[in-house]
Amino acid sequence: MSALQPSELDRPTLARDRSAADADLKSVSAALRRAEFGDRMRSLLLAAPLLVLLALSFGIPIVLLLSRAVYDPTIADALPKTTVALAGWNGQGLPGDDAFAALAADLKDNQAKGTAYELAKSLNARLPGARSQLLKTVRKLENADGQAALDAVKSVPFWSAPTTWPAIRSGTNSLTSFYLLSALDLRWNADGGVERVPPEQAIFIQVFLRTFFVAASVTLATLILAFPLAYLIANVPKGLAAILIVAVLLPFWTSILVRTAAWTVLLQKFGLVNDFLLLIGVTSDRLDLMYSRIGLIIAMTHIQLPFTLLPIYSVMRTIPPSQMKAAYSLGARPFTAFRRIYIPQVFPGVMAGCMLTFILCLGYYITPALIGGASDQLISNFIANYVNVELNWEMAAALSFILLVFTLALFGIFARVLGLDRLKLV
Amino acid sequence: MTQLRKTFLALAAATAFVTIAGAAFADELSIMASGGAWQDAQRKAWFEPFSKETGAKILEQEYLGDLGKVKAMVETGNVPIDLVTVETATVLQGCDAGILERLDYSKIGPRDKFIEGSALDCGVGLDAYGDILAYDPTVLKEAPTSVLDLFDTTKFPGKRAMRKFPAQNLEWALMADGVAPADVYKVLATPEGVDRAFKKLDTIKKDIVWWDAGAQPAQLLASKEVVMTTAWNGRIQNAIDTDKKPFKIVWNNQILEYDMIAIPKGARNPELAYKYLAYISKPENNAKLASYITYGPVRTDAASFVAADALPKLPNAPDHLAGAYLVADTEFWGDYGEDLVKRFNAWLAQ
Amino acid sequence: MLLSPYPTTGERIRITLLWIWCGLVILFLLVPILIPVPLSFNSGAFFIFPLEGLSTRWYEVVLGTQRWQSAIGNSLIVAFGTTLIATTLGTLTAIALSDEKFPGRRIIMPLLLSPLIVPVVITAVGSYLFYARVGLASTYAGIILAHTALASPFVVVTVGASLTGFDRNLMRAAAISGARPLTSFFRVMLPLILPGVLSGAAFAFVTSFDEVVVVQFLASAGQRTMPLEMFIGLREKLSPAITAAATLMMGLSILLLLVANLLARRGRKAPA
Burial class (CB in 10 A: 0-12, 13-18, 19+), B157: exposed
Cross-strand pairs, B162: B210
Q: What pLDDT, in 10s, does the model give residues C51-66?
A: 888 889 889 888 888 8
Instruction: Give the model's pLDDT for residue B112.
Output: 93
- Contact yes or no for C235 and B36 at CB 8 A: yes
- Which residue, A80, A121, A122, is CA-closest to A102? A80
- What is the Cα–Cα distance from A337 to A326, expressed in whole angstroms? 9
Are C129 and B76 inside 8 Å of each other by CB? Answer: yes
Instruction: Judge whether C214 and C147 are in contact, CB under 8 Å.
Output: yes
Helix (H, G, I), strand (E, B) or coil at C187: helix
Nearest to C96 among A46, A60, A231 (CB): A46
Judge whether C115 and C207 are in contact, CB under 8 Å.
no
Q: What is the CA radius of gyration of chain C?
A: 23
pLDDT digit string, tens, across residues B106-157: 999 999 999 988 999 999 999 999 999 999 999 998 999 999 999 999 999 9
Q: Is residue C255 assigned to a domain?
A: no
Q: Which helix (H) or strand (E) element contains residue C115?
A: helix C105-117
Chain C residues with beta carbon closer than 8 angstroms to that of B28: none
The pLDDT assigned to C75 comes to: 92
Are B164 and B252 contained in the same domain?
yes
Question: Angle at the Cα of A372 (from A350 to B209), degrees rounded to 5?
Answer: 170
Asked if the structure places residue B299 within a domain, the reply is yes
**Which CATH number goes with the domain that contains C225?**
1.10.3720.10
- If asked whether residues B47 and B122 sit together in one domain, one would say yes
For the stretch B217-241, what's the b/e string if a residue is b when 16 or more beta carbons lie within 10 angstroms of its beta carbon?
Answer: bbbbbbbbbbbbbbbbbbbbbbbbe
Question: Quick one: three-class SS letters along chain B?
Answer: CHHHHHHHHHHHHHHHHHHHHHHCCCCEEEEEECCHHHHHHHHHHHHHHHHHHHCCEEEEEECCCCCHHHHHHHHHCCCCCCEEEEEHHHHHHHHHCCCECCCCHHHCCCHHHECCCCECCCCEEEEEEEEEEEECCCCCCCCCCCHHHHHCCCCCCCCEEEECCCCCHHHHHHHHCCCCHHHHHHHHCCHHHHHHHHHHHHCCHHHEEEECCCCHHHHHHHCCCCCEEEEEHHHHHHHHHCCCCCCEEEEEEEEEEEEEEECECCCCCHHHHHHHHHHHHCHHHHCHHHHCCCCECCEHHHHHHCCCCCHHHCCCCHHHHCCCEEECCHHHHHHHHHHHHHHHHHHHHC
- Contacts of residue C163, defined as CB under 8 A and 6 or more positions apart, other chains included, come to A424, C94, C95, C98, C193, C196
Mean pLDDT for B92-118 is 91
How close does chain A come to B280, measured CA to CA in Å?
27
Residue C268 corresponds to which amino acid? R
CB contacts, 8 Å: A397 with chain C: 122
Show the domain range for B110.
Answer: 28-128+258-321
pLDDT reading at A309 higher than 70: yes
Determine, for residues B210 and A374 on separate chains, whether the beta-carbon distance falls below 8 Å: yes
Examine the pLDDT at A68 and tell me if it is beyond 70. yes
Q: Which secondary structure element, helix H or strand E, spans residue C246, and what is its range?
A: helix C241-269
| HSE-up (13 A, CA, CB side) for residue B220 | 31
Lowest mean pLDDT across A249-263, B192-206, B290-304, B312-326: A249-263
Among residues B241, B256, B271, which one ends one of the domains?
B256
pLDDT tens-digit map of A73-83: 999 999 999 99
Residues B144 and B247 reside in one and the same domain: yes
Q: How far is B194 from chain A, CA to nearest CA, in Å? A: 13
Examine the domain organization and report whether B76 and B111 are in the same domain. Answer: yes
Q: pLDDT for A145-198, tens place per residue? A: 888 898 989 999 999 988 889 889 888 989 989 999 999 999 887 677 889 988
Q: Mutation target for B interface from C226, C236, C239: give the one with most B CBs within 10 A.
A: C236
pLDDT, mean over chain C: 86
Rounded CA gap, C259 and C253, in Å? 10
What residue in C sits closest to B30 (Cα-Cα)?
C221
pLDDT at B283: 94
Q: Which domain holds residue C196?
A: 72-247
pLDDT above 70 (res A420): no
Torsion of CA A303, A304, A309, A315, to 10 degrees: 140
Q: How many domains are there within chain C?
A: 1
Based on the fold, state whether residues B116 and B227 are members of the same structural domain. no
Report if residue C189 sits inside a domain: yes
Q: Is C65 within a domain? A: no
- Report how many domains make up chain B: 2
Distance of CA A307 to the CA centre of its chain: 18
Q: Tell me if residue A363 falls in helix, strand or coil.
A: coil
Question: How far B24 CA lies from chain A's nearest CA (Å)?
Answer: 28
What mean pLDDT value characterizes chain B?
88
- Please report, as a single letter, which amino acid is at residue B328: A
Instruction: Band the pLDDT of C4: cuts 50, 70, 90.
Output: low
DSSP code for A4: G
Chains B and C form CB pairs within 8 A to the count of 108
Rounded to whole angstroms, how far apart are CA atoms B334 and B325?
Answer: 21
The ipTM (two decimal places) reads 0.88
For B35, the closest of C133, C138, C233 (CB atoms) is C233
Share of chain C above pLDDT 70, in %: 93
Assigned domain for C253 exists: no
- Residue A422, classified by CB atoms within 10 Å of its CB into exposed (0-12), middle (13-18) or buried (19+), is exposed
B35 pLDDT above the threshold of 90: no
Percent over 70 (pLDDT), chain A: 93
Any idea what the CATH number is for the domain that residue B248 is in?
3.40.190.10
Chain A CB contacts of B338 under 8 Å are 121, 124-125, 131, 390
Is it the case that residue A242 has pLDDT exceeding 90? no
Q: Both B166 and B226 in a single domain?
A: yes
Residues B215 and B274 in one domain: no
pLDDT computed for residue C223 by the predictor: 87
The predicted pLDDT at position A15 comes to 57
A271 close to B (CB below 8 A): yes
> What's the mean pLDDT in A337-349?
86
CA distances from A141 to A75, A112, A138, A153, B98 (A): 19, 11, 5, 8, 21
CA-based nearest residue in chain B for residue C217: B69
- What domains appear along chain A, each with residue ranges and CATH number? 74-196 (no CATH), 204-423 (1.10.3720.10)
- C246 versus A64: the higher-pLDDT residue is A64
- In our burial notation (b when 16+ CB lie closer than 10 A, e otherwise), range B52-90 reads eeeebebbebbbbbbbbbbbbbbbbebbbbbbbbbbbbb
Pairing outcome for strands B325-327 and B248-262? parallel
Average pLDDT of C93-102?
84
Kindly tell me if the per-residue pLDDT of A17 is higher than 70. Answer: no
Q: Which helix (H) or strand (E) holds C191?
A: helix C190-209
- Comparing B155 with A117, which gets the higher pLDDT? B155
pLDDT at position B45, please? 95
